[in-house]
Amino acid sequence: MSECGSHAGEAPARSEYSRRPKVKINKIVWGADGTGDSAQALKIAEALSLKFKSRIVGISVIPDYYNVVNLFPPAEKTKFRDWVDLNLITARKDSMEKFRRDLSKKGTNFEYEIMKGIPAKAIANFAVKHDADLIALGRGRSVEKTILGGTALKVLRSSRVPVLTARGDKFKGGFKRIIVPVDLSHGLGKSFDYAVDLAAAFGSTVHVANVVETGYQKYPSELAEQLRGFAHRELKETVGSTRLKDDLIINTVIAPNGWRGIVDFAFEKKADLIVIMTYGGGRFKKEFIGSVAEKVIQEAHCPVITMTP
């Protein structure tokens, strides 16, 4: 997000914006883990599938206990593996078959695979190998409030495929309001295109939002409003250059930091989805997710789609 000082001087240079082809979501990989968050992610994947004629592939990963099992005596090792095959795998197959039948009745193409391994690695690798366009996951619970669930965080850190993370059970089948945060120092990018294309499919309103970060300094209200005004004018010019006729609303928010501004704004607007870049600064680093994106994913009340630069 833009630092407060970046709007007081010259506006950053911007390259001319060019509209990319409409987003394609042909294949969605859904990480099934039996949680309510995962079930919510599937509901959203189903809604996207109906709009984009996508195929959903459910992936259920049984954790690889290789290191532990090797400590067992031979007889116990065989017994443990047999138990996994007869109980865990059978239970997973039954569950996934139920999803397949239910979704098939609604006209959704659903397949599934059950595998052993490290869940985050297996999901991310499968998505790349099979040319997935989106990974859908439950956010998961964490020991510390500020840290995402382990599997979701690891997938986010390693995946170059867009990742949808969801929590709870409030999805109503569509997106009325989509928030797309914009960092004015980097201009418009993939997340903006993605949000606009999703809005076209669902008939949504897109709120393009820039956060003017003031830190925890107590600026006079006049100065803070002046900073907001500079940023709003620049944002309006940036978005206006796209010449899009979609339902776009431009917003400039003042907040102590980027993630808090985004999360609070999304809650205030009763947003149904946030589309955000994972990293907004400089050169993209492998296996790195920016602190703003991570906090937004963790704290937002609604689903979040993250994209790499």
63 pLDDT band (50/70/90 cuts)? Answer: confident
pLDDT at residue 211, rounded to an integer: 86
- The arithmetic mean of pLDDT across residues 8-12, rounded, is 33
pLDDT in tens, 104-143: 999 999 999 999 888 899 999 999 999 999 999 998 754 3
pLDDT in tens, 190-211: 899 899 999 999 999 999 998 8
The pLDDT mean for the chain works out to: 81
pLDDT at residue 96, rounded to an integer: 95
The share of the chain scoring above pLDDT 70, in percent, equals 76
pLDDT at residue 5, rounded to an integer: 35
pLDDT at residue 10, rounded to an integer: 32
All domains of the chain, ordered by start, with CATH? 4-19+171-307 (3.40.50.620), 27-166 (3.40.50.620)
pLDDT at residue 245, rounded to an integer: 57
pTM: 0.82
167 pLDDT band (50/70/90 cuts)? Answer: confident
The two structure tokens encoding residue 13: 């240079």
Higher pLDDT, 167 or 223: 167
pLDDT in tens, 237-279: 877 766 565 578 888 888 888 899 999 999 999 999 999 988 6
Higher pLDDT, 3 or 168: 168
